[in-house]
Structure 1
Amino acid sequence: MPDRGPSPLQSSLPAVAARFGAYGHGRGVDALVVGRPALPTGLSVPVAVPAESLGGGLVAEGVRESAAAARTTNPFLERLRRGPSGLGTAGLYFFTPRKESPTQPEQPQAAPAAEGIPIPGLYYHPVPDPDPVRVEEVSRRIKRWAVDEVEAYPPEWEDQFDGFSVGRYMVACHPDAPTIEHLMLATRLMVAENAVDDVYCEDHGGSPIGLGGRLLLAHTALDPVHTTGEYQAGWAESLHADAPRRAYRSAMEYFVQQSTASQADRFRHDMARLHMGYLAEAAWAQTEYVPEVWEYLAMRQFNNFRPCPTITDTVGGYELPADLHAQPAMQRVVALAGNATTIVNDLYSYTKELASPGRHLNLPVVIAERESCSERDAYLKAVEVHNDLMHAFEAEAAELATACPDPRVLRFLRGVAVWVDGNHYWHMTNTYRYSLPDFW
C-alpha cells in the first residue's frame, strides 16, 4: 500500500462533516445561471488571448468580462495553490509551486508550433513543461506494457500511440506523484480507456451497434463477476478476448495493488458513468439525433474525463476518505472539473473530428445546429461555455476549501486543479493530433 503521509485528522470528525455537509451550491450555481461566477479566480495566474482579437459581439464582450474578472486575486486560492502549511502538513506537498506567469500581454503571444497555440479567449492556467526524465521513463514503460503485456494495439498503430504522448500527458497532470509507479497507475488506465473508445466506439472499428454488450463485458474487467463455479471460467477467459478487456483487466490489477478499497470502488463508479455516457452518444448516433445543447452537456457530464482527476489522490500516494469525497459539494467540484476539461477536448479536437468520416457530435457542432448560428459563432460560444464552467469550478473549489479546511480536502482540490491545468497543456501542445480552426 502507498504511504498515506501525515494524517492527523480522523476521516469523520463530526464538526467537519456537519460543516461540509451543510455546504450549499451557492455561488457556483449563480455562475452557471447568469454566466459569471462570484469568485472568478484561479489556482494560478490565468492566461487568455485578449478578446479584442475576437472582434465585437456578445461573445467577445463575455470574454473581456471574464478576463477582467480573472485578474482579481483571492488570497485563499493563492494559499491553496502554494499548498497546505502548518503543523503536520509538510508531507502533503510533493512538488515545487508553479512559477507565476506575467500579467496579461497586450498582444497574443503565439507559441512556437512545436509547443502548440492556445485557443484565443480560452480561460486556462499555464503549467511548466513536465519533467523530461519522468516523461521519458513513463513513455518507455507504458509502451512496453501496451505492446508486451496486453497487446493493446497492432504494429500499424504505433505512430498513433507515440503521437498520443501519454507519458507527457500524465506527468503534466500528476506532478506530485511520489514515484514513477504511481504515475503508471494513471497512465495504464488512460491507455486502457482509449483502447475501449477507439476499438469499441470510434476510430478503429468502433460502432454504436451492439456497443452496450461490449461495454458491459469490458466493465467486468474492472468490476469482477461473481457467479457459479461452472460459469466463472468462461468469464475469466473472456477477459483476454480483445485489447480493451486485456488492457482494462491489467490496468485495474495494478491499480488495486496501490489503492484502498474505497478508492478502487470510486473509480469503478466513475467508469460506469463514463460507459453510460458512451451509450447515450451511441444511441443518438443510431437514430441520427442531434441533442439540444443542454442534453449534449448532460451527456458530456458522463462521457468525460472524470475518472482521471477522481484518482488524483491515489496517484499522489494518499487518500481522500470516502465520506469526504462523497459529499455533494466535493462531487459538484469534481463534476465541474470533468465538464470543463471535456469541453477543452471538444474545442481542440474540433477540426480533427470534422475531418473524420461520419458526423461527430461536439459542443460547437451542437450549438451551430440547435441555435442556428455559423460554425465560427458556435465555436466562440463553446469557448464561453468552457470559461463559465472553469469559473464555476474555481469558485466552488474556493468555497469548499473554506468550508472544510481539512488538509486532505485542500490537497485533493489542488490535485484536481492541477489535473485540469495539465489536461489543457496536453491538448494545446499535442500538435500531432490537434490543430485550431481558422476563426480569428
Structure 2
Amino acid sequence: MEEQLILVSPTDRQTGVAPKMQVHHQGLRHRAFSILLFDPQGRLLMQQRAFGKYHSGGLWTNTCCGHPRKGERTAVAANRRLQEEMGMTCRLQKVASMLYHEQVSDQLIEHEFDHVFAGISQTDPIANPEEAESWQWLSLEEVAEQIEHTPDMFTIWFRRMVEQFGIEGVRQWFESVRKVSAARSMPSLPGAKTGSPWAVPPLYCPAPFRVDEALAGGVDDLLMPWIEKVGIFPGQLDRVRAMGFGRFAMLCHSDTDDPRRLLLQAQCMGALFALDDYYCDDERTGSDPRVIGRRLTVALAALEPVHLTSRFQPLLDRFLDSDPVLVGLSHYMQRVTELATPAQTARVRHEICAMFVSMTAEANWRVEQLMPPVWEYLAHRQANSFLPCLSLIDIVGGYELPANVYSAPEVRRITTLAASATIIANDLFSARKEQQAGIGDFNLPLLLAREQQCSPQQAMAQSAAIHDEIMHLYEAAELDVLPNASPLLERYLRGIKSWLAGNVEWHRTSGRYQV
C-alpha cells in the first residue's frame, strides 16, 4: 500500500491525508522533517541521495529527510527515519521550521511544512544503500563554498534552508544542541548551587542570521561620538559601549552591511534607552513617575516640530536644547528623515508616541501603587516594546514597504507579535537587574510571581512559556501571509525574523543586563 502523507494548512494544522505520489504530482502541502547531524567539532553530516530515489537522486543534502505517518508524532518519525536511512540513533532537538514550494526532478513538486531537527553524533553512519549513495562530514565553510560554486549538486530544499537561515544560522543550531548536550552530561552534585533564581530558561527563537563582530565594532565607533555629542549617558561611555548597541544593529539587520545605515538602529537604541532610564525606570538617575506624563508630552516636540508664535517658540527651543534626552530624540529623528520617506518617518513617530502612552500608564501604576493583572500588563507591553525599533527594518535595509502593506491587519499581526515576543525576552533578561533598589517594579516574571504566589524560578519558566507561545503564534501568522507575499513583503518578513533572532542574542550578551 502506498505511503500516506499528512496534508496540512500553512500553520501545520492537519487537513487530511493523501498518497505520497499524488501529493508530489499535485504539489499538495504536507508535513515533513529535515535532520542535520553534526559531529562535536561542528561538521555537518551530508548525505548523497541514492540514484534510484523517486526524485532528486544523486544530489547532496542534509543528513536525513522524511515524512511522519498518520498519527505519528513528528519527533518520533524523525528518529525512526534517521535509523532507517543512516543507521544512527541520536537525541534530536527541533531548531526551526520552514515552508517552501519548489519544483524537483521528474515533474514532481515539493510543497512542505518542514520541521528542522538537529543533533550531535560521535559515530559515523551505516547508510542504507537504497536511501543514500554516499555521505561525508563537511565543515560549514565547505558547505557554503560548495553551494556557492556548484549549487546544482544540492537538493533544492537544502539550498533554500541555507538561503533562509544563513550558514551562521545553521552554525547556531549546532551551538544550541551542543549546549543542551553539555548541560545534560554535567553531573548533578549534592548541594550544588543552581545559580540565580532569575536565570533565563531556554527560549524558542531562530538562531542569529549573522554574527560579524568587526561590523558591530564599526557601528559602535560611529555611535560613541554621537552619544557624547548629544549628551546622553554623561560620563558613561565605557558602559554604553559594553551595552553593544552597534552589535544589536548588526545582529538584527542582516540585510545590510552599511555601518551608517546600521548606525540608525544603534542611535534609536541609545535615544530610547536614555529616555527609559532618565524619565521612566531608574530613580537613581532622576526618574520620577509623578512627572512622566508632562515630560513625555514635551518630548513629542522632539519627535515632530511644534510651531509656535515668535513670542513662545524661543522658550520651547531653549527647553529642548537643555535636556540631553530631548536632544538625543531630536537628533535621532533628524537621521530618520535623512534615510526615510515621509510615510516611513510618520510610522516611526507613531510607534514612539504609542510607547509614550503606555509609559504614562505604567507611571500611574507606580504612583497609585497598583499591581496590574498579567493580562493588562501584556496588553500594555505590546505598545511599550521594541516596536519603534522594528519600524526601522526597511529603512535600515534601504527600501520601503508601502504604508498600506505595513499597516495591513495580517502584516500588523506579525509585527506586533514579534514586538511582544522581544519585549518578554527583555523582561526575562532584565529580571535579575530589576531586583535592585531604585529600578522599575514591573516585569512579567515579577508580576507572575506575585499573582501566582510562585517562586522566581517558576515565574521565569512561566514567562518563557508565554514567550514561546507568542513565538508560535508569530510563526503561524507569518505562514498565513508568506504564500501570497510580494518580494518586498517577503524581504520585510525575513527582516522581522532576523530581528527576533538578533534581539535574543543581544540580550544574552549585552552588558546592559549584567549585575
Provide TM-score, normalisation by structure 1: 0.74
Looking at structure 2, the residues matched to 178 and 259 of structure 1 have their Cα atoms a distance apart, in angstroms, of 18
Matches within 5 A, 1:375-386: 375-386=456-467
SS at structure 2 position matched to 1:307: helix
User: Residues 147-180 of structure 1: CA distance to partner in whole angstroms, max 9, x if unpaired?
Assistant: 12x111221x233212211111111111222521
Separation in 2, partners of 1:97, 1:228? 58
**Alpha carbons of 1:242 and 1:96: their partners in 2 closer, same or farther (altered >3 Å)?**
same
2:406/2:412 contact within 8 Å kept: yes
- Partners of 2:338 and 2:32 lie apart in 1 by 38
How far 1:108 moved relative to its partner? 4.4
* 2:247 paired residue number: 168
* Distance in 1, Cα, partners of 2:113 & 2:495: 14
Among 427, 430, 439, the alignment partner of 2:510 is 430
Q: Is the 8 A contact 2:358 2:384 kept in 1?
A: yes
| Distance change >3 Å, CA 307–CA 279, structure 1 → 2 | same
1:397 aligns with 2:478: yes
- The Cα offsets for residues 210-255 of structure 1, whole Å up to 9 and x where unpaired, read as 1111111112111221333332232223221211100011111111
Alpha-carbon spacing, 1:106–1:163, altered in 2? closer, same or farther (3 Å): closer
Contact 1:95 1:176 in 2 (8 A): no
Match runs of 1:21-420 below 5 Å = 70=94, 73-76=97-100, 98-100=168-170, 101-102=173-174, 104=177, 107-109=180-182, 119-127=200-208, 130-148=211-229, 150-155=230-235, 157-203=236-282, 204-357=285-438, 360-402=441-483, 404-420=484-500
Corresponding residue SS for 1:126: coil
Structure 2 distance, partners of 1:329, 1:130, is: 30
C-alpha displacement at 1:383, in angstroms? 0.7
Give, as a single letter, the amino acid of the residue that structure 2 aligns with 1:75: L
Do the aligned residues in 2 keep the contact of 1:41 with 1:74 (CA within 8 Å)?
A: no
- 1:190 is paired with a residue of what secondary structure? helix
RMSD: 3.3
Residues 129, 307 of structure 1: CA spacing in aligned structure 2 closer, same or farther, 3 A cutoff? same
Task: Indicate the residue corresponding to 2:18 in structure 1.
Answer: none
Aligned to 1:5: none
SS of residue matched to 1:74: strand
Greater relative CO, 1 or 2 (CA 8 Å, sep 6+): 1
SS of 2:513's equivalent? Answer: coil
1:426 and 1:238 map into 2 onto residues whose CA distance is 34
Contact 2:11-2:479 at 8 Å conserved across structures:
no
Tell me, in whole angstroms, the C-alpha distance in 2 between the residues paired with 1:313 and 1:41: 32
Q: Distance in 2 between matches of 1:413 and 1:179?
A: 20
Return the TM-score normalized by structure 2: 0.64
Q: Is the 8 A contact 2:93 2:177 kept in 1?
A: no
Report deviation, 1:109: 4.2
1:372 to partner: Cα distance: 2.4
Residue number in structure 2 paired with 1:16: none
CA contact (8 A) 2:445 2:456 kept: yes
> CA deviation digits over 1:291-339, x for unaligned, max 9?
1110110111111111111210000000000010111111111110000
Structure with greater Cα Rg: 2
Whether contact under 8 Å (1:94, 1:176) holds in the other structure is no
> Residues of 2 paired with 1:208 and 1:138: CA distance?
33
Q: Spell out the pairing of 1:5-20 with structure 2 (5 A cutoff).
A: none
Aligned CA distance change for structure 1 residues 68 and 99 (closer, same or farther; 3 Å)? closer
The offset of 1:356, in angstroms, is 3.3
**Which residue identity lines up with residue 402 of structure 2 in the other structure?**
P
Q: How far off is 1:69 after superposition?
A: 9.8
SS in 2 for 1:304: coil
**Alignment size in residue pairs:** 359
Tell which deviates more after alignment, 341-350 or 161-170: 161-170
How far apart are residue 120 of structure 1 and its match?
Answer: 3.1
Moved runs in structure 1, 4+ residues, more than 6 A? Answer: 39-42
Q: Which amino acid aligns with 2:99?
A: P
Q: Distance in 1 between the 2:252 and 2:493 partners?
A: 13
Q: Structure 2, unaligned stretches of length 5 or more?
A: 1-9, 13-29, 37-74, 77-90, 101-111, 117-143, 145-162, 184-197
Distance 2:94 2:169 in 1: 17
List per-residue Cα deviations over 1:94-153 (Å, max 9, x = no partner): 99654422484594446xxxxxx99433212222663222212211111101112x1112
Q: Work out whether residues 199 and 457 of structure 2, in 8 Å CA contact, stay in contact via their aligned partners in 1.
A: no
User: Percent of pairs identical after alignment?
Assistant: 30
Give the strand-richer structure, 1 or 2: 2
